[in-house]
Structure formats: structure tokens, C-alpha cells
A and B are shown apart, each in its own frame.
Chain A
């Protein structure tokens, strides 16, 4: 596992990113550079293109135009294999909790006896000790999301994309997930996360990206964004006004 000292911060650059569906422009970003080492929170109203941007960055969606580069090179399969993504609704395999983690570890080339120790370590990290043999799909919402995050972390990613991982979870479950994300960030995993929760963005974010109508409305360091927002969209968003 990477540790903080040897963390690498790949610079992700997006240029000319366009996605259009049924004549409607869903994503339209001329240039965007994501190079801060800390967690980046992507904020914005529904339909702003946050999740779409995340999927483009991770290569799950091919844009109609534009390119995503990492460290100056067009992002390829090798880069994408160094990334992982956690979805709003956790997608767990129909097997046990340990089975979900083993699925990834087996692909990572962990040999059988090392896998057991790594699974135990991951479960302890996520507070899921004692649930190894439980069917994953019988976990509560918060536990399921924690397992999805642990499974993503089991791939030892450089970049972890999270798409509203705590939506519809209670504060206690949210706290446990935020702790996992913060710990991963401290270990050097680059966090790029979509959230609707301004409080969460304040707690976790080092950089903020505000999106509106498929475009970037503002990109700033978190303290600056929350204290001196530059765009009107950001000011309205932070004051609780409707940003459409």
C-alpha cells in the first residue's frame, strides 16, 4: 500500500470535453486542470454534469469530443487501472463480504494465504470485522457503501472517484464513510468526489469545483471558495439560493 511520503499526485487535465444528448449539451468544459494533492469535492445542482464528468475522467463514458490527459499523456488503460470508483448506490457482488474483497484481491495477484490477512485488515479498517462471511447484499446501506469503498481501496488506486457515496445515509453512517475517505486521502490516495452536501465538502475538501449547466462555474481552494466565492453561482449556492 502507498504511504503518505511516497504519494504521487497525477495531474489530470481535461480539454474540450463535450457531451451532447438529444440536442442538449450535458458537458461543455474547455479546460480543467486537477492537480491539487488533497481531496477535490465537486459540487453543483442536479444535472450540472458532476457525475458525467466523473465517469469521463474514469473512462466509463466516451465523450463526444475532447480529451482527458494524465501527466500530459492521453489517459489510457494503464492509468485507468490505477483508478477506482465508488457509485452512489453500492454495487455489491452476490457473494459474501469477504468474497467481494477477494474478487478484487485475486485480480490484484494476491496469493491465497495473503488474501485472508489483507481481507481481515480491510474489514478492520472499515469497521466490518465479524461480517466476513455475511452475504454482502444483506448489509445495511452504510455498511454496504463502506464495503464498496474498501473494495475500491483494495485495488490500491492512485485516484479514487466517489459519486455521492453518502447520499441517503444517516449522520452516523456518513461519519464512518467520511473517516474512511479521509484516511485514504492521508495515505496518498487522490480523492475526487461528487457531493451535494456543502458541510461534507467543507469537512473533506481541500479543493472545490462548482459545476452548473455542464460547465465549470468556479474552481478554487476550499477555504477561498467558502469564504470568498468569486462567481455569482458560487455565492448563490453557498447562501442556500437555488442554482439551476
Chain B
């Protein structure tokens, strides 16, 4: 117990002293995950909205597939992205393996189904309420998508948060395609795994504290925003 307290004290010193290595890892983690979530949002939100309002053969099958992909095993995603980006793979010519870009691609593959599925659910619920009114105002099914996305913005923030949570906490896929190379592709989760196995608990704990603080503060911000909007009547009626 005394050992743990000592390691925790060292961890706090690392955080508060602005340790360069530690903060480099934190910033790279944030950069990779934020980019991944932004790209996943650009892909997943229109796709989710299209699934919600569109009517086409096989729609139900696509919805089931997207929902199933939410539970994609990260190591399988890591393996597939690795195969695509490896020298002999279809995208090998881009030479992205063991770069932050490869980690972003892996996270995009993991996060896009989450954002797509949650967007589909949000927009479908909203569309059930809005559809007749929007048609009556001369807004076609397709043209209603931006309106539905905008009016569902608070629920969609939660979808983004879920995606970010999945991305920032990811280990398996990013370690396979990023390689956990010091000062290049080392992120919080892969460092925690590595440093724990080496017995360097202070750095692992410091990163763990930052990871939890990030998750809690982001969730708190979104919750406050939603709460405030509830008071103002902007959220669900």
C-alpha cells in the first residue's frame, strides 16, 4: 500500500511538473482520437441520417449490420488495417503503417459504426415527430436531413462522446498499426500497458489519472450542456 502511495505521489509529480514525455504522449493521444472522431462524424452522421430517413431495399439489413459493427473487436480491426497498410497490402504504397495516420484510420473504423448507429437512432426518433410537419412545410425527405441533424445536435453530442470514449480508450488496434514507437506512435493506453509490464507504475498511473480526468471532464461538459438546454427547452420536449 505504501508502495502504491509512493507511485501515486510520483505520478502526481510527473503530471504537475509538466513532464515533457508524458504530455507529448497525452497530446498525441488527443490528436489521434480527436481527428478520428471528426472523420468518423463526417462519415457516420450523414450515413446514420440517411439510414434514418431513407427507404430502400435492404435498409433493415444495413441497420442490423451497422449495429453489429458497433461491437467490432479492436484487434480484428487492427489486423485488417495492418493488412491493408502493410507493404504488400492494397494501401501499402502510402507507407502509413506505424504512423499516427494508421492509428487514426484504425480508430475511424472502430468509431464510425458507433456514430452511425447512434445518429440513426436519434434522427429516426426525431423524424417520427417532424416528418409530417416538414413535408407540410415543403421540405423533402432528403432536404430534411440537415434540419434533423441540427435539431438533434445535443443527442448527437452524446454520440460523439461515445465515439471519443471508444477511441481514446483503444489499445489493441492502435498498438498493432502504430507499433507503440517512442515519440512517434506512443499514446496513453499503449504506454500504460507497456510501462505497467516494465514496472514503471508512476508513468502508467499518471497517464491513467489523465485519461480518467479527460473522460470525466468531457462527459461532465456534455451533460451540463444538455442540462442547460433542457432548461431552455431546446432538447427533447
Contact = CB atoms under 8 A, between A and B. Distances in A.
Interface of A: 55, 58-60, 80-81, 83-85, 87, 91, 93-95, 103-104, 107, 135-139, 151-152, 155
Interface stretch (B47-55, B134-142, B207-215): B134-142
A83 B137 CA distance: 8
B137 A137 contact: no
B137 A84 contact: yes
A60 B135 contact: yes
A95 B132 contact: no
B137 A104 contact: yes
Given A107-B137, A139-B233, A155-B137, 6 more contacts: A81-B138, A93-B130, A107-B138, A135-B232, A137-B237, A151-B137
A135 to B, nearest CB: 4
Contacts of B138: 80-81, 107, 155
A95 B130 CA distance: 13
Interface of B: 129-130, 132-133, 135-139, 147, 150-152, 232-235, 237
**Considering the complex of A and B, which 10 residue pairs feature the smallest CB-CB distances, nearest first?**
A138-B233, A137-B233, A91-B133, A135-B233, A85-B136, A94-B151, A135-B232, A81-B138, A94-B234, A135-B234
B151 A60 contact: no
Contacts of A103: 137, 147
A95 B139 contact: no
A91 B129 contact: yes
B147 A136 contact: no
24 contacts: A59-B135, A60-B135, A60-B136, A80-B138, A81-B138, A85-B132, A87-B132, A87-B133, A91-B129, A91-B130, A91-B132, A91-B133, A93-B130, A93-B147, A93-B151, A95-B150, A104-B137, A107-B137, A107-B138, A135-B232, A138-B232, A151-B137, A152-B136, A155-B137
A135 B230 CA distance: 10
A80 B136 CA distance: 8
Contacts of B150: 95
B126 to A, nearest CB: 9
Contacts of A107: 137-139
A94 B137 contact: no
A149 B233 CA distance: 20
Contacts of A58: 136
Nearest to A107: B138
Nearest to A86: B136
B132 A60 contact: yes
Contacts of B136: 58, 60, 83-85, 152
Contacts of A60: 132, 135-136
A31 B91 CA distance: 66
A140 B74 CA distance: 49
B21 to A, nearest CB: 45
Nearest to A83: B136
A142 to B, nearest CB: 16
B199 to A, nearest CB: 53
B147 to A, nearest CB: 7
Contacts of A94: 151-152, 234-235
Contacts of A135: 232-234
A155 B147 CA distance: 17
Contacts of B133: 85, 87, 91
Contacts of A93: 130, 147, 151
A58 B135 CA distance: 10
Nearest to B154: A94
A53 B102 CA distance: 58
A103 B146 CA distance: 12
